[in-house]
Amino acid sequence: MANHIRNQKFIRFKYGTACYIVEIDCDTVTDLPEPPTNWLMGSIAHDISTGSFYELNSLGQWIKQTLTDEESSNGEIS
């Protein structure tokens, strides 16, 4: 099992440390890495086995993203 950083965008320096928004692909949710402190809220991870997406919150936790009933019923995201 594995994960791979697909994209990494520099956002700013904070206390002398470069901070990034990252995009990660992982084989399964168990492959989501523990995010280092220089990964910022809004970083995204894609679980390839299920097609699920996770977003990093301000506490450094990966949160699974879900569609609302309206979004899933018409097949579009507005």
Is residue 51 helix, strand or coil?
coil
Cα–Cα distance measured from residue 56 to residue 37, given in angstroms and rounded to the nearest whole number: 11
9-51 pLDDT per residue, tens: 999 999 999 999 999 999 999 999 999 999 999 999 999 999 9
pTM of the model: 0.80
Cα–Cα distance measured from residue 57 to residue 40, given in angstroms and rounded to the nearest whole number: 8
- Domain ranges across the chain: 1-48
Cβ contacts of residue 68 below 8 Å, gap of 6+? none
Contact 18, 38 (CB under 8 A): yes
